A and B are shown apart, each in its own frame.
Chain A
Amino acid sequence: MAQMTIAEALRQGLREEMTRDARVYCIGEDIGIPGGWGGAFTVTLGLEKEFRERIIDTPISEAGLFGVALGSAIMGMRPVADVQYSDFIFCAMDQVVNQIATMRYMSGCKLTVPITMRAPVGATGRGAQHAHNIESMFLGIPGIKIVCPATAYDAKGLLKAAIRDDNPVLMIEHKLLYGSKGARTESGAVDASSDIPDEDYTVPIGKGIIRREGRDVTLIGTLLMMHRAVQAAEVLASEGISAEVIDPRSLSPFDWPLVEASVRKTGCAVVVEEGPRTGGVGAEIAASLTERCADALLSPVARVAAPDIPVPFSPPMENFYIPDVARIAAAARSVIVRQRMSVSA
Chain B
Amino acid sequence: MMSNSMEFHLSLYRKMVMIRQFEERVKYLFLEGIMPGTIHQYQGQEAIAVGVCEHLADEDVITSTHRPHGHAIAKGLSVESMMHELFGKSTGCCAGKGGSMHIGDMAHGMAPAIAIVGGGAPIATGMALAFTMRKQPQVAVAFMGDGAVNEGAVHEAMNMGAIWSLPIVYVVENNRYSASTPIAQTTKVANLADRAAAYGMPGVTVDGNDVLAVYEAAGEAIHRARTGGGPTMLEALTYRITGHSRRDPCLYQPEEERKAALTQEPIVRFTEFLLSQGHTQQALDGVRDEVNAEIERAVQSAMAAPDPAPEEALVGLFV
Contact = CB atoms under 8 A, between A and B. Distances in A.
B152 A63 contact: yes
A68 B126 contact: yes
Contact of B119 (A73, A99, A104): A99
Interface residues of B, number: 42
B145 to A, nearest CB: 16
Contacts of B125: 64, 67-68, 71
Given A106-B97, A108-B97, A98 B133 contact: no
B97 A74 contact: no
Interface stretch (B33-41, B154-162, B266-274): B154-162
Contacts of A64: 122, 125, 153, 156-157, 159-160
Interface stretch (B71-79, B202-210, B242-250, B311-319): B311-319
A59 B127 contact: no
Contact of A94 (B102, B119, B126): B119
Nearest to A166: B319
Contact of B128 (A71, A109, A111): A71
B84 to A, nearest CB: 11
Contacts of A75: 61, 126-127, 130-131
Nearest to A25: B133
Interface residues of A, number: 42
Nearest to B93: A108
Interface string A19-46: 0000001000000000000000000000
Given A53-B133, A111-B112, A67 B163 contact: no
A319 interface: no
B129 to A, nearest CB: 5
Interface in A48-67: 53-54, 56, 58-59, 61, 63-67
26 contacts: A58-B160, A61-B160, A64-B122, A65-B160, A67-B122, A68-B126, A71-B125, A73-B126, A75-B61, A75-B127, A94-B116, A103-B112, A104-B319, A106-B104, A107-B98, A107-B102, A107-B104, A107-B112, A108-B95, A108-B96, A110-B94, A110-B106, A111-B111, A112-B319, A142-B317, A166-B319
Given A70-B123, A71-B129, A109-B317, 11 more contacts: A61-B159, A63-B152, A64-B125, A65-B122, A65-B160, A75-B131, A104-B317, A106-B98, A109-B97, A143-B318, A167-B318
